[in-house]
Amino acid sequence: MSDAKPSDLTKLTIAGARDMLSSGEISARELAQAHIAAVDAADPLNAYIVKTPEKALAMADAADARLKAGNAAPMTGIPIGVKDLFATEGVRTTACSHILSGFEPAYESTVTQNLWDAGAVMLGKLNMDEFAMGSSNETSHYGPVKNPWRATGSNSDYVPGGSSGGSVASVAGYAAMGATASDTGGSIRQPAAFTGTVGVKPTYGRCSRYGMVAFASSLDQAGPVTRTVRDSAIMLGAMAGYDPKDSTSVDRSVPDFEAALTGDIRGLKIGIPQEYHLAGMPVEIETLWHQGIDWLKAAGAEIVDINLPHTKYALPTYYIVAPAEASSNLARYDGVRYGLRDVPQGGGLADMYETTRGQGFGPEVKRRVMIGTYVLSAGYYDAYYLKAQKVRQLIADDFRRAYEKVDAILTPTAPSAAFAFGDKSDDPIAMYLNDVFTVPASLAGLPGSSVPAGLDADGLPLGLQILGRAWDEETVLKVSGVLEEAAGFTARPQDWWRA
């Protein structure tokens, strides 16, 4: 049963809105209108870089017709934002890089097409770190996204995390009911933790990469950001599925993720990796992790200490593998095929490449291209890239052995809460350290979530991460649901940006 119609439709959950849409208490058009206004009101967050209100209304009308005809799907009429990494037919798609300025794809990504086929309503394209490289959304060509959350009693702005900064800020700031995001080394989970939202990175191969601007193809995976675990289960169900157009997408049926939310984790074994106790980690994060252990224990899970011995090599391995793949993927931006073209007076082809790439890429992207080119070059390939590939296998083996003993793993999502703008942007290593807990599962291709679990002393949200076996998003979601319920996280940001 749904509640009485709330005064602000943007505060509904996807599950709640779905019920009210199907009972006819609200229309998809009303819901879209409320969100179009909320998108405008959220301008100070800089979460949207393209707004598509006419499209939203047309899609909402189609959703209303579908609801009336009685053939609605779970996402029918639900307004969402799309990370600018997903190609959207006829709608500017730039991965927030200047080099893709003005690029309008002639085709739609499979993940977004799946969502539109399920009846979802598109509000616009969401800001992100350039080519998804970053942990703070400070590398976007369109400027940083602001975290809707501020420290208690403060007027200063914090980063929303990255690279899916626009996705999490729009959802936390009630300017979308859910958003697509992508995670290569943590870009769904870390920003979700920084904004009190839920993010799910599925198993590599669960969602099609067709039409997703490639960063590091062996790691990139799409997933949802929402305000509740149930909403993530609903949205992931609509996004996922085999796609012959992506040779790494896997032909497995998509389970009913929502049905996995039984709330019953009695007898499940939850692993606590000892290597994730980092020296120097804020005590609040350790405390929250222990709290999470207690919550799961109280719900009937069995807590098991485990070892993931190669954890300390995960970050250096990721920061070789990901830039290597990025340097190769980004070679296609040469001024010929997409977006920007810059040719100096009287210059030849090589000058065009150089000027276009020099003008088109930001400093972080250039750094990755240089690192990647270096580790792949003759003479260094064996020492760096090949070694990293071998260590990647050892990290995957660690998880395989652990999952012989446990069903899921509980860790903090990130080693800190959201930080202030500029805090780490001059220090790439400090920025990369943000990914310490998310990168290992990415290298192993395993599913994981981040669930909002508490606030730090400054009133900023903190998340806990649940990892699972390959293809077992159901257990990840089930444990996430229990954690969400136990944490009872109801805090929300003050909506200063609407003032």
Q: At what angle do helices 14-22 and 53-69 cross, to 10 degrees?
A: 50
By C-beta, is 133 or 479 nearer to ligand GLN?
133
- Is 83 considered catalytic here? yes
- Is 187 considered catalytic here? yes
Least Å distance, CB 191 to ligand GLN, is 9
Least Å distance, CB 49 to ligand GLN, is 17
Least Å distance, CB 225 to ligand GLN, is 13
Q: At what angle do helices 229-239 and 14-22 cross, to 10 degrees?
A: 70
By C-beta, is 55 or 206 nearer to ligand GLN?
206
Cβ contact 157:164 at 8 Å: no
Catalytic residue among 83, 125, 146, 201: 83
Residue 196 interacts with ligand GLN (CB under 6 A): yes or no: no
**Which window, 147-155, 185-193, 306-314, 462-470, contacts ligand GLN (CB under 6 A)?**
185-193
- The CB-nearest residue to ligand GLN is 187
Amino acid at 461: P
Per CB under 6 A, the list member of 124, 186, 372, 447 interacting with ligand GLN is 186
Cβ contact 307:271 at 8 Å: no
Site string for ligand GLN, 429-458 (x = CB under 6 A): ------x-----------------------
**Which window, 132-140, 239-247, 265-273, 487-495, contacts ligand GLN (CB under 6 A)?**
132-140
Per CB under 6 A, the list member of 21, 207, 213, 322 interacting with ligand GLN is 322
Least Å distance, CB 299 to ligand GLN, is 30
Cβ contact 437:276 at 8 Å: yes
Catalytic residue among 163, 170, 442, 450: 163
- Is 163 considered catalytic here? yes
Helix (H) or strand (E) holding 467: strand 461-468
Site string for ligand GLN, 203-232 (x = CB under 6 A): ------------x-----------------
Residue reference for tokens 């999952």: 403
Cβ contact 189:225 at 8 Å: no
Residue 425 interacts with ligand GLN (CB under 6 A): yes or no: no
Q: DSSP string of 85-100? A: TB-BTTB---TT-GGG
Non-local (6+) Cβ contacts of 378 within 8 A are: none
Residue 135 interacts with ligand GLN (CB under 6 A): yes or no: yes
| Residue 454 DSSP SS3 | strand
Q: DSSP string of 187-249? A: TTHHHHHHHT-EEEE--TTSS--TTBPPSSTTT-EEEEEESSHHHHHHHHHHH----TTSTTS
Summarize as ranges the residues that interact with ligand GLN (CB under 6 A): 132-135, 163, 183-187, 215, 322, 435
- Any idea which residues carry the catalytic annotation? 83, 163, 187
